[in-house]
Amino acid sequence: MPAIFPEAVVGTTIACSFILLGNAITQSFMGVPALLVDFPHPTSPNHAAAARHLGKQWPVFWKVGNVFFRPISTLGVLGYSYAGYCAYRAATRTGVILGSDRLEGGASSGPDWKLFAVGAVCHLVTVVHSAVNMQPLNAKIDALRGDTVGVRVDSSLAEWYARRWQKLNLVRLVMPLVAGSLALWQGLKGRFSSY
């Protein structure tokens, strides 16, 4: 038996996946639309003030991404990797690594390490996507405040930046959903008794 119970790690990691899912839903379908209510057209005289206001409000979203998403997604990578490792070790003890997950007589050989590997990769995709795609967009939206040094931004694209962020955030919605659902499915099938 491993020093850290895999069942506890899996349960915690599933919870983290669904917390991230809920946060991504809230940001994409409630937060960003609320920030863009009555956002003026770029030709409007009120557009510059609205773009600056969006830039002033954006640090809350950015902070959630840096303080919330990244560490929890990293925990997801580590948690599902550990669970996959434990499931793989259990499978090597039973002689079932690839192929059928059933032993003679139809008994389950335990959780499928490959599904935990998929969960770990999903969370890794979230971390990399956040750094590569979301971070530069966050910087542009933050620069709309007007007091950011070194970042050039076209304020006429303020609404487009926010809507683009909203669309890119869907990756951070789908990846935890896939990871958490795969792990939860294994748990609901009662496959954690064979670690």
Average pLDDT over residues 143-153: 83
For 27-39, how does the pLDDT look when each residue is reduced to its tens digit (9 = 90+)? 999 999 999 999 9
How many angstroms separate the CA atoms of 73 and 181, rounded?
A: 15
What contacts 97, CB < 8 A, 6 or more positions away? 88, 91
For 177-192, how does the pLDDT look when each residue is reduced to its tens digit (9 = 90+)? 999 999 999 878 765 6
52 with 145: CB under 8 angstroms? yes
At 40, the pLDDT band (50, 70, 90 cuts) reads very high
How many angstroms separate the CA atoms of 158 and 138, rounded?
A: 11
For 57-110, how does the pLDDT look when each residue is reduced to its tens digit (9 = 90+)? 998 878 776 777 888 999 999 999 999 999 888 878 766 554 444 444 444 557
DSSP, collapsed to helix, strand or coil, labels residue 108 as strand
For 101-137, how does the pLDDT look when each residue is reduced to its tens digit (9 = 90+)? 444 444 455 788 899 999 999 999 999 999 999 999 9
Q: According to the model, what pLDDT value does residue 100 have?
A: 46
How many angstroms separate the CA atoms of 74 and 55, rounded?
A: 27
Q: According to the model, what pLDDT value does residue 85 have?
A: 92
Q: According to the model, what pLDDT value does residue 163 have?
A: 97
192 with 10: CB under 8 angstroms? yes
Q: According to the model, what pLDDT value does residue 132 have?
A: 95
Q: For the chain, what are the domain ranges?
A: 6-98+108-188
- Burial tier of 49 (Cβ tally within 10 Å: 0-12, 13-18, 19+): exposed
